[in-house]
Amino acid sequence: MKMSEQTARRILARPGIEVSAMGLGCWPIGGPFLLDGRQDGYGQADDAESIRALRRALDLGINVFDTSDAYGAGHSERVIGEAFKGVRDQAFIITKFGYVPDEQKREITGTDVSPAYIRKACEASLRRLDTDYIDMYLLHVWQLTQREEAEQVADTLEALVKEGKIGSFGWSTDLLECAGWFAPKPHCSAIEMNLNVLQDSPELLDFCRKHDLASINRSPLAMGFLSGKFTAESFIGKDDVRGAGHAWVAFFKDGKPRQEFLDALAAIREILSSKGRSLVQGALAWIFARGPHTIPVPGFKSVKQVEDLAGALQHGPLSADQMAEIDRLLGRK
């Protein structure tokens, strides 16, 4: 079932803006950078190819671009700013704050969500993106322990909306409690959450639906795992976030793909790649079928990858029967 012109788009309810049903995640094009002394990038990136890929995305109807001042310690934002010179109005740019980047050393030095720092970070992102406004500004630090601190962050973001620096805001978090602190705010428009066919998030999806929030879906391809290119013999070195030993990287351990996820993918591969879809397109089709408020933001490094990703919009969502069969095969229902 192909996506119609209507279903290939999403309406961000609170700002009332129409965007593509899929975006692009711009973490990989930031290149190498360090977090906690470990590599947090996806290896080297070719800036010229990244710019060509970003511009190609616009040609293919993709206009949502998700980045952060942390990616490449600001380099991803600079690449985006260069790519969209002269066509800024065609792109819906999401960036994030909360991690403190050292651009010279290409590393993250800590976190800061104080009102003064949020303003400083916003101005720095505006300069790197070469723009005078950010369409959506997300808190990148996934957890705050005090509601009062979250309220202070949200109040600062509301002020930035009034000043025209940002269009709306949200939180990149997988915690319902944190999402609940932001949701009532007038210009909170999205929660960015981890979501892919191997890691469902029904409670957060329901939360977004009930509160009329967009669900921006990070890791829709499970950090590349759902490309299908990894086997039990695959190995990723420490110069890549997936092999660097971060405890929060779920699909890889010590540079090797986890066997339980390889087995799960093998069980559903035929469904995902049915009806002429690539495996990547099938993984995105699963997300499209999870609801009309989902916006997956898969990563990329090349024009070819962007073209494959864009093909998912032509194929559209998986059917209800296919979704039910995937749940059965994965033991979810």
**276: amino acid identity, one letter:** G
Tens digit of each residue's pLDDT (9 = 90 or more) over 40-49? 999 999 999 9
Within-domain flag for 2: no
Tens digit of each residue's pLDDT (9 = 90 or more) over 203-242? 999 999 999 999 999 999 999 999 999 999 999 999 999 9
Contact 258, 222 (CB under 8 A): no
Within-domain flag for 1: no
Within-domain flag for 92: yes
**221: amino acid identity, one letter:** L
Residue 44, φ and ψ in degrees, nearest 5: -65, 150
Within-domain flag for 297: yes
Distance CA 141, CA 35 (A): 13
β-partners of residue 92 are 64
Within-domain flag for 205: yes
When divided into structural domains, the chain yields a total of: 1
Burial class (CB in 10 A: 0-12, 13-18, 19+), 57: buried
Question: For the domain that residue 322 is a member of, what is the CATH number?
Answer: 3.20.20.100
Within-domain flag for 191: yes
Burial 229-256 (b: 16+ CB within 10 A, else e): ebeeeeebeeebbbbbbeeebbbbeebb
Within-domain flag for 4: no
pLDDT of residue 205: 98
Task: Give the pLDDT of the chain (333 residues) as one tens digit per residue.
Answer: 456 444 478 888 677 889 999 999 999 999 999 999 999 999 999 999 999 999 999 999 999 999 999 999 999 999 999 999 999 999 999 999 999 999 999 999 999 999 999 999 999 999 999 999 999 999 999 999 999 999 999 999 999 999 999 999 999 999 999 999 999 999 999 999 999 999 999 999 999 999 999 999 999 999 999 999 999 999 999 999 999 999 999 999 999 999 999 999 999 999 999 999 999 999 999 999 999 999 999 999 999 999 999 999 999 999 999 999 999 999 997
Nearest to 95 by CA among 129, 62, 143: 129
Q: Which residue has the tokens 């032509």?
A: 314
Q: 3-state class of 183 per DSSP?
A: coil
Distance CA 210, CA 233 (A): 43
Burial 307-317 (b: 16+ CB within 10 A, else e): ebbbbbbebbb
pLDDT of residue 8: 76
Q: Which residue has the tokens 């300069």?
A: 127
Within-domain flag for 164: yes
Cα–Cα distances in angstroms (integers) from residue 130 to residues 76, 201, 209, in the given order: 12, 35, 33
Distance CA 309, CA 312 (A): 6
Residue 291 DSSP label: -
pLDDT of residue 6: 43
Torsion, Cα of 51, 55, 56, 58 (10° steps): 150
pLDDT of residue 15: 78
pTM score of the predicted model: 0.96
Contact 270, 328 (CB under 8 A): no
Q: Which residue has the tokens 């980047």?
A: 101
Contact 251, 261 (CB under 8 A): yes
Nearest to 153 by CA among 182, 121, 123, 179: 182
Contact 302, 53 (CB under 8 A): yes
Q: Could you tell me the residue range of the domain that residue 24 belongs to?
A: 9-329
Q: Which residue has the tokens 């600001």?
A: 74
